[in-house]
Amino acid sequence: MKFTPTAIPDVVVVEPRVFGDARGFFMESWNERSFSAAGISARFVQDNHSRSAQGVLRGLHYQIKQPQGKLVRVIAGEIFDIAVDIRKRSPSFGKAVTITLSAENKQMLWVPSGFAHGFYVTSEFAEVIYKTTDFYAPEHERVLLWNDPALNIRWPLLGDPLLAARDGAGNTLSDIELFP
């Protein structure tokens, strides 16, 4: 596997080695030794799988207690994926990393705890699988407003995004609970 730090070095693009032939392909999507050697010593406790239609925007979510690191990959379709640093003492506080993840490119994104995360579906539909380092705790979930002007995110919108009510009612960066 190839591990490439992004503009925010804690957020890492993971490119698996893909072995393909006429029958299909094989790849490792998680290997504890490889990730540990790259400095990512995550213990995963939950796998999540979502399917979303084109134009769906999910996020920007985080848990203030029981924070979740996430290893995100797409198994069908394509998404515009984003991680926003909300660690108040971080030199990259308020900055975002964006990447296109797709079933075709097979790249994954490691999003450590301390980041708000979300994605926008650019294909007809997308299926997203992500491993988490802690269990989902709805009582601790918070939402950073996806279109907060302070974030200066250039979403590749195809029209008005389809949002859950909680995502449309998120708080701005200046009003959210932050990580230490």
Residues annotated as catalytic are 61, 130
CB 66 within 8 A of CB 135: yes
Q: In this structure, what DSSP letter does residue 161 have?
A: P
Between the CA of residue 157 and those of 60, 119, 121, 147, what are the distances in Å?
15, 11, 9, 11
Write the DSSP assignment of 63-80 as a string of letters: ESSS---EEEEEEESEEE
Handedness of CA 101, 137, 163, 147 (dihedral sign): negative
The answer for residues whose C-beta is within 8 angstroms of residue 98's C-beta and 6 or more apart is 80, 81, 82, 153, 154
Distance of alpha carbon 170 from its chain centroid, rounded?
17
Q: What are the phi and psi torsion angles at 35 (to 5°)?
A: -65, -45
